[in-house]
Structure 1
Amino acid sequence: MSSIQGVLYLRNEKEELRWFEDVDPNTEDGKYVGQIKNGEPCGHGTFTYPNGEKYEGEWKDGKRHGQGSYNDSDGRKYVGEWNDGAGEGHGMITWTNGNKYEGEVKDGEMVGQGTFYWFDGDKYTGEYKDGKRHGQGTYTHLDGRKYEGQWKDGKINGQGTYTYTDGRKYEGHWKDAKLYGQGVYIGFYGEKYEGKWKHGIYHGKGIYTFSDGIKWIGEWREDKPWNITEYSKDGKVNGKMVNGVQQ
C-alpha cells in the first residue's frame, strides 16, 4: 500500500500514544501533516506539539526515522539522523546564543565523537558521553591556548597537555581541571618543574631547574620550597632548606 498525503492527530489513550484522523482539542498531543501509510506517519511530514515544538522530516511506522529537524520551544535545534523515534546518528545541534555542536548523537544528546563550537570562538573536538566531554579530546581557545588529553564528566581529568601561546607548557596529570599528581611544567624563560602537584600548585617531591642550570631538588608544601637541596649547574651543593628555613 502506497502512502497518501493527509493529517493525523496524536492522543494519549489509556497511557498509550495513538494516531487519529479526528481531533479533540482537549486531548490532542500534537498534529501531523504529511505522508501517511496504514494510519500512521510514513514518509515525509511535519509534526507540531501544542507548545510549539516542531519536527520536520522522515517517518517510518509512526516514528521519526531518517533525516529530520527538531525545534525545541527554547530555541534549541537538532538537524540530523533519527532512529526509531529518537535523534540518533550524525547530526548538528544549535543554540540561540550561537553555540553549535556537530557529531554523533544518541537520544538527542551529544555522545561519541563530535565538535562543539562556542559563540566566542573556542572549540572542542573529541569524545562525549551523556552530553558531556568525556574521554579523549582537544579544547582550543580563540587566542591559541590548547589542551589535549583526557576528560571526565565535562571536566579535564587524567593525563593531558596544556600549551600556552607564549611557549609555556604543562604535561601531566589533572583532577577537576587543576594540575594534580605528577607533571612537568616548562616556563616562559625555559625554567622547568618536574614533580608532584596538588590543586594547581607545587606540593610534594620535585625538581625545579632554573634557566641558568641551577637545580632545587626536594620537597614542596603548598607551593613553597620546604626541604630542598640546591645544586649548581656543575652538580655541586650550594645550600639547603629545611622545613622552609634556609640553612
Structure 2
Amino acid sequence: MNGMTFFAILYYIPQFLQLFLSKAAGITTLTAPLPFSLCGVRNRTGIYKPFIVTGIALWTIAQSLLSKIDGSSSTGKIAGILLMAGLSSGFTFQTSLIAAQVAVPRHEMVVVTGVRNLVRLFGSTLTLAICASIFNNSLHASLRPLNLSPSQVSTILNGPTSINNPNVAGLTLSAEDKMKIVEGYTKGFKGVFYLTVACTATAFLASVVLIRQHRLDREDDELLKKAGKGEVEGEEDEEEWGGFGGGGS
C-alpha cells in the first residue's frame, strides 16, 4: 500500500500541476527531503509502531485532501497538502523496514529486507497500471464526443499541456472543447487520488492490527559484541607477533 500510494503521487501530481499551474518542479521539489527527515529520531528512540500508525493516518487525510483539489485550487493550498503528504509518508519509510527486521530472527533479516523492498516495488508497478487505466478511461470518455483523430487523442493523453499548444499534432480546440478535456483530466486525477485514499486507509488498518512493537536490541547483542571484540583483539595480537617474528628473521 505504501508503494502504491507513493508512486501514484510521484507520477501523477507533476502532470496535474503542469496542466493547471505549470509549476510542477517548484512545488513537488519541496516535498522531496521530507520522507527522510525523521529517520534519525525514530532510530534513537527504538519506538516505531506509533510513528507508522500516525504517519499513515495523516497520509490518508492528505490523500483525501488531494482528491478535492482542482483547477481553481490555489498554489499555496496544493503546496500545503503536498507538504503534509510528504511529511506523513516520511513517518512510514524507514520505520516500516525496521518493523519488518526486528520481527524476525537475525539470520532472516536480509531476506525480510529484500522481500519488503520487492513487495513495495511490486505495489508501485501494480498501481501505475491501475491508475493508467482509470485515468485513460476517464479522459477517453471526455474526448469521444470531440471527434479527434487518433494522433490528436494520443497527443492529449501523453501530454496534458498539449491542449494549450495548437502547433502540436494539429490541435485546434475551442474554449468549450478545452473545458471538456480539462474536466476529463480532472476526473482522471480524482480517480487516481481516490485509489490512493483506499490504499492508505487499508495500510492504516493493517498497521494497527498486524504490526507489533519489538525491542530493537536482542538478547545475544552483548555476546556478539564480546565475540567480535575478542576476534579483533586476536587479529591485533597476531599482527604484533607476526611483525616481531619478521623482524627477528
Q: TM-score range by the shorter chain?
A: under 0.3
For the pair shown, the structure with the greater C-alpha radius of gyration is 1
Where relative contact order (Cα < 8 A, 6+ residues apart) is larger, the structure is: 2
State the TM-score, normalizing by the size of structure 2: 0.18
Q: Greater share of strand residues, 1 or 2?
A: 1
